[in-house]
Amino acid sequence: SHPQLLDWLAVELVDSEWNIQHIQRLIIDSATFRQDSKIKLEAATRDPENRLLAFFPRVRLAAETIRDQALSLAGLLDLTIGGPSVHPPQPAGIDLATYAGDRWKTSEGSGRHRRGMYTFWRRTSPYPTFSLFDAPSRELTCSRRDRSNTPLQALALLNDPAFVEAAEALGEIIKESEGSTERERLQWGFKHCTTRSATKKEIDILYDLLKSDGWPSIGTVLLNLDEMVVRG
């Protein structure tokens, strides 16, 4: 739909000596990519199918990105580049029928918190949480990922060991953040995760939760917000 744009990007890639990160940064920093997802009447009338990119479509983040984002906000993400695949926590016994005698040995230390792209992958038993969030099985070439919205995804965000650890660490960060009152620290935590200030109603809800369940629950709720898993 935009052949001239593709040609320009191709030339830019060559001129940058095939620097992929430069191209990614160029796209992410562009006005088009940073548009609001709220559809204005004029844009909807002129470009109803968004072929001309009049607005940014709301899209759920990729499986690996959702996990990496949670770990990053919690201060746990290991950004080490390169090296062998790692084995983050997953449900016990999931390797009994599909690993031909091998066993899933959970990585220790910061290895369990490496970026999703380094997660060990066996096609007969893909990493469960990534599969729930529509990561391809890698058995066939995938030109575009599906994006579903199911109750199992919410359960994974609540119970997956990686997200439980992230929620606990995030709650501790918010607890120790600047702020003379708990409400101020909750406001800091909300903005830390969503990049916007919380409304009074939202803070009231979080404050009531804090008094009944503690800081880890605050981390759990924030990581499960729609704003956390959907770009829009």
* C-alpha of 147 from chain center: 13
Q: What angle do CA 210, 216, 217 make, to 5 degrees?
A: 55
Please report, to the nearest 10 degrees, the dihedral formed by the alpha carbons of residues 31, 37, 40, 46 taken in order: 70
**pLDDT digits over 74-91, tens only?**
999 999 999 999 988 887
Highest mean pLDDT (candidates 55-69, 84-98, 181-195): 181-195
pLDDT at residue 161 is higher than 80: yes
Higher pLDDT, 44 or 160: 160
Share of the chain above pLDDT 90, in %: 54
* C-alpha of 35 from chain center: 19
Longest Cα–Cα distance of the chain, Å, equals: 60
pLDDT at residue 181 is higher than 90: yes
- What pLDDT shows up at residue 71? 95
- Distance in angstroms (rounded) separating the CA atoms of residues 125 and 107: 17
pLDDT at residue 97 is higher than 70: no
Q: pTM for this structure?
A: 0.80
- Distance in angstroms (rounded) separating the CA atoms of residues 77 and 173: 14
Best CA proximity match to 127, nearest among 175, 56, 118, 201: 118
- What pLDDT shows up at residue 39? 81
pLDDT at residue 99 is higher than 70: no
CB 6: neighbour CB atoms within 10 A?
A: 10
Higher pLDDT, 94 or 51: 51
Higher pLDDT, 193 or 44: 193
pLDDT at residue 114 is higher than 80: yes
pLDDT at residue 101 is higher than 70: no
Mean pLDDT of the region 175-186: 93
pLDDT at residue 16 is higher than 90: yes
Task: Print burial letters for 89-122: b (CB count within 10 Å at least 16), e (below 16).
Answer: ebeeeebeeeeeeeebeebeeebbbbbbebbeee
pLDDT at residue 156 is higher than 70: yes
- What pLDDT shows up at residue 22? 96
